[in-house]
Copies of this chain bind each other. A is one copy, B any other.
């Protein structure tokens, strides 16, 4: 009956072909341990959505686990581009439903609110819209404003099967807090059919009740709670640990070719049994403690 689960159990609840919303933004709060386990379990054909494409999605795409990506563009910030995503788009192996940040956020918001569609000013006149009309015409419509008669672009609500969200603090019911900016995470969670929470810190519900204004993920949406420290490595978790610049540089370099990336996967994903072996491989306690966030700075 309880929701506490191992990462392997939580990942096993996701059938191939599922639509997964991921909480990462570029190189922060990415579902890295989750993505590694998805790859190890051989799950494929996923639809992945997020407002800004991030390292979690790039890893999954690079491993061939993703069929469609619904996103607003993305990068590894100054560390580079999403080479796996880009290569898959260029070679036609990934269907890229590419929007802008707000367009995806609005699609999640419409899903969260149970709206039939949401009008937006974004995308008009752009080639993003022209391309969407080819790739995903079923998600793009027009409506007439009943008050002015103006025509507006309308987007279909986005309702992922599951949102996977990397958080700082959660209880065993899945009530969770996010420190720092939340980008699209709250709307992802509230749009999705269910939620997997991956948390750095597991606290008693008593703690959640002391500061309930912070609870952006309500337990009743959550199916699995995975307590797994450093699960976003090598990306950062605000107030907990910094990104691992050295490892991200290694990743960015490895994604330049299919062959190099295969070697990266062999080493860091297939070469370890689980997250704990991964943490040892990347340098264990010594490396990880060097990344721990300063309590004032948050990084």
Please tell me which stretch of A27-35, A77-85, A147-155, A274-282 contacts chain B, meaning at least 4 of its Cβ atoms lie within 8 angstroms of it. A147-155
Complex CA–CA separation, A271 to B138 (angstroms): 65
Residues of B within 8 A of A178 (CB): 213
Residues of B within 8 A of A138 (CB): 147
Residues of B within 8 A of A214 (CB): 213
Residues of B within 8 A of A114 (CB): 121
A209, chain B: closest CB distance, angstroms: 11
Complex CA–CA separation, A141 to B116 (angstroms): 15
Residue of B nearest to A109 (CB): B113
> CB < 8 Å: which of B116, B121, B156, B182 contacts A119?
B116
B179 engages A116 (CB within 8 Å): no
> CB < 8 Å: which of B118, B142, B147 contacts A141?
B147
Residues of B within 8 A of A143 (CB): 143-144, 146
Is A230 part of the contact surface with B, judged by Cβ < 8 Å?
no
**Which of A166-213 touch B at CB < 8 Å?**
178-180, 182, 213
Is A245 part of the contact surface with B, judged by Cβ < 8 Å?
no
A255, chain B: closest CB distance, angstroms: 33
| 28 contacting pairs across A/B (C-beta < 8 A) | A114-B121, A115-B118, A115-B119, A116-B119, A116-B145, A116-B147, A116-B148, A116-B150, A116-B152, A117-B119, A117-B145, A117-B146, A117-B147, A138-B147, A141-B146, A141-B147, A142-B146, A143-B143, A143-B144, A143-B146, A146-B154, A147-B154, A147-B156, A178-B213, A179-B213, A180-B213, A182-B213, A213-B214
**A residues in contact (CB < 8 Å) with B:** 114-119, 121, 138, 141-148, 150, 152, 154, 156, 178-180, 182, 213-214
